[in-house]
Amino acid sequence: MNRWIGGPQFDACFFFGSGLVALAAGLVMLAAPSTVVPLWFAWLLLIEGPHLCATWQRTYLDAAWRRERPRLMWGSLLWLLPGPLLLLATWLSGRPEPFLLFLGAVALWSFHHAVRQHHGILSIYQRLTKAGPAARAADKWLLHAILWTAFVLLIVAHPANGVRDALGGLAPVIVTVIVLLLGAAMLAWAALLVTRWRRGDALVPGLFALVVATGTTLFSLLVVGLHEPLLAHPLTVEQVFLAATIVSGTLHGLQYIGIVIATERRRATIHATPLAAYAVMVAASLLYVWLNLARGGAPVGAAPGSPTAQLFLALYWGLFCHHFWLDQKIWRPSRDARLRSDLGLEAA
């Protein structure tokens, strides 16, 4: 029985090793904050940009997909519009709320997208290892509950968000309760894995979910995030959390690149080697690096908040809304026989 998405070594590299790479990046930035900006550039060029390009490679560059799903191909492009339209509303009204509402919404969607990817990979491992209904449900709900609770904890605990000051004396109590709940949930999950190990059940799904997806994300949010800003003199809230973004983005991006490579390798219509395809993605990502400089993403390039930077910021998040929406539609094995075959699930 095949228990792996791309093979033992492949999975060790992309789906488990991604956590080690993200952890190493976080530890380097904690030890030497001056590395944040260089690592940000490396992440944009080598991981974040290629992960975006991988979506378009799997869709717009796939002749069968273009032929079968033209409605999704063209309709999804409408997600490029909300950002510029709400920015225009802000400019015309002289009030920041329309564009700030957009930025808040896409930030939540971004985290949901990351959690959804973790759950998607977990689900594939569960299917490949024939996990039982109880194990599938437990891992799913623990994954979602812990990750979203940790996200709330970062919002409440970090002063840059303004929530801690608004809560006053309640903030320490809420933080303590959340920390205790997170600790109890992690211990309970570990106990479940020990029980499965004693029964002889497959541990790959649970280890991926608990150690890699949840453990690395908690490190990003509650270790790196709560030590932020590591970047000297941040100019925006996004820059305050730049190091945590690099850590979580490294985990997410490497796993996404891995799942695309694993599925593309099984397609007879793909002739380029994974290395050659990745090289093209990196070359294309030079434009993505420029976009981030133009939107004021770091303390180099355009000044954050200027009209030009705001316009590029709206376009930047429009690209991600398009990416989020496409991902919700193209990674549904239960509805797509070809995808099931690409993922090696037909024999599972």
- 293-308 b/e (C-beta count within 10 Å ≥ 16 → b): bbbbbbbebbebeeee
pTM for the model stands at 0.93
Residue range 184-192: mean pLDDT, rounded? 96
Residue range 87-113: mean pLDDT, rounded? 96
The answer, yes or no, to whether residue 274 has pLDDT greater than 60, is: yes
The answer, yes or no, to whether residue 229 has pLDDT greater than 60, is: yes
- The per-residue pLDDT for 75 is 94
The answer, yes or no, to whether residue 157 has pLDDT greater than 70, is: yes
Residue range 310-317: mean pLDDT, rounded? 95
The pLDDT > 90 percentage for the chain reads 74
Helices (H), 5-132: 8-11, 17-31, 36-43, 49-58, 63-68, 70-75, 82-93, 97-128
- The per-residue pLDDT for 271 is 55
**Within its chain, how far is the Cα of 80 from the centroid?**
19
Residue 300, beta-bridge partner list: 298
Q: What are the DSSP calls for 192-230, one per residue?
A: HHHHHHHHT---HHHHIIIIIIIHHHHIIIIIIHHH---
For helices 307-330 and 274-294, angle between their N-to-C axes, nearest 10 degrees: 150
Residue range 140-154: mean pLDDT, rounded? 96
Alpha-carbon distance of 130 to 224, in angstroms, equals: 36
The answer, yes or no, to whether residue 22 has pLDDT greater than 90, is: yes
- The per-residue pLDDT for 287 is 95
Provide the 3-class DSSP secondary structure of residue 249.
helix
The pLDDT > 70 percentage for the chain reads 97
- The per-residue pLDDT for 347 is 57
- The per-residue pLDDT for 272 is 61
Alpha-carbon distance of 13 to 339, in angstroms, equals: 22
For helices 49-58 and 242-265, angle between their N-to-C axes, nearest 10 degrees: 30
Instruction: Give 62's DSSP letter.
Output: -
Helix (H) or strand (E) holding 154: helix 133-157
**Which residue has 């954050």 as its token pair?**
304
The answer, yes or no, to whether residue 52 has pLDDT greater than 80, is: yes
Average pLDDT taken over every residue of the chain: 92
For residues 57 and 281, is the Cβ–Cβ distance under 8 A? yes
What's the full length of the chain, in residues? 348
The answer, yes or no, to whether residue 57 has pLDDT greater than 80, is: yes
Phi, psi of 298 (to 5 degrees): -145, 170
Instruction: Give 303's DSSP letter.
Output: P
Please tell me which of 9-23, 63-77, 164-178, 289-303 the model is most confident about, judged by mean pLDDT. 9-23
**Listed range (45-59, 92-106, 153-167, 244-258) with the worst mean pLDDT:** 153-167
Tokens of 70: 């033209």
